Amino acid sequence: MRKLLLLLVVSFCWSCTDESGDVGFIDGGGVGVGGSTARFAINGEFLYIVSNTDLKVINISSVADPQYQSSTPIGSGIETIFGFKGNLFIGGQSGMKIYTVDALGRPTYRSEFVHRTACDPVIANDQYAYVTTRSGEGCNNTLFEANRLVTLDVSNLDNPFDVDQQQMINPRGLAFFKGDLFVAEGASGLKQFSLEDPAHPVLIHFHTEIAANDMIALENTMIITRDDGIYQFGCVDEDLELFSPIQ
């Protein structure tokens, strides 16, 4: 019954994800990786779930006996969660929030970067977080143009600030793959940015033939979700090549 309960929790969160339904994981740990539009992430013995307004923590140290631990109000319009090295980067329609988790799994608020209302996936590394802001139905921002790729300096987790903004078409999920930054542009295609200067991503290829909503990047393959199914691409001669579709 406990295993079934955990499965139901995971299934519920999957159904709440935006566009792709991907699962986010912190620090790997051999469990897996996830896309930038995930609504839940795992760090060690704890599962973190974001609803529209709360960050929920479940202790999964015992797979047979998962325990609900806490719920923390974190605002409204919360959409995504991305974990990196014990930190949670939470995307919402009003901005990105950063939380740090301790050894007992408890999240502590660190800071946030506020932007005008827009849909907001986020991924991060040691120094920078990359955020897409998107206009459209459900994003509550019909009065202004929100379609941008925003680069944030998060080297100081208590004081994130933007260092670069670039106009996009209608951006969605993001992923790091083979040292580059990939940004999904929905039906318009998939953009590939060089991170030679990580503070200022440079567009090096626009794969207009590859529609994409979000990506899960593995070592040698990238799983892309889009409206008509799931597609696995690999890197062949420094270019993306379709390996297999699941339609």
Which tens digits make up the pLDDT trace of 48-93? 999 999 999 999 999 899 999 999 999 999 999 999 999 999 998 8
Q: What is the pLDDT of residue 167?
A: 95
Q: What is the pLDDT of residue 140?
A: 55
Query: CA angle at residue 52 from 77 to 92, to 5 degrees?
Result: 35
Q: What is the pLDDT of residue 243?
A: 93
Question: CA–CA separation, 40 vs 129, rounded Å?
Answer: 18
| Both tokens assigned to 6 | 């955990």
Q: Which helix (H) or strand (E) holds 126?
A: none
Q: What is the pLDDT of residue 21?
A: 36
Enclosing domain of residue 215: 2-246
CATH, residue 147: 2.130.10.10
91 to each of 59, 97, 133, 202, how far by Cα in Å?
23, 7, 10, 23
Structurally, the chain folds into a number of domains equal to 1
Query: CA angle at residue 222 from 199 to 134, to 5 degrees?
Result: 55
Tell me the mean pLDDT per 10 residues along the chain, length 247: 41 37 41 73 92 96 93 92 93 91 95 78 94 73 70 96 95 94 96 97 97 93 94 88 88
Residue 14 three-state SS:
helix
**Which residues lie closer than 8 Å to 17 by C-beta, 6 or more apart?**
37, 38, 39
- What is the CB-side half-sphere exposure of residue 154 using CA atoms within 13 A? 28
| Both tokens assigned to 72 | 């923390």
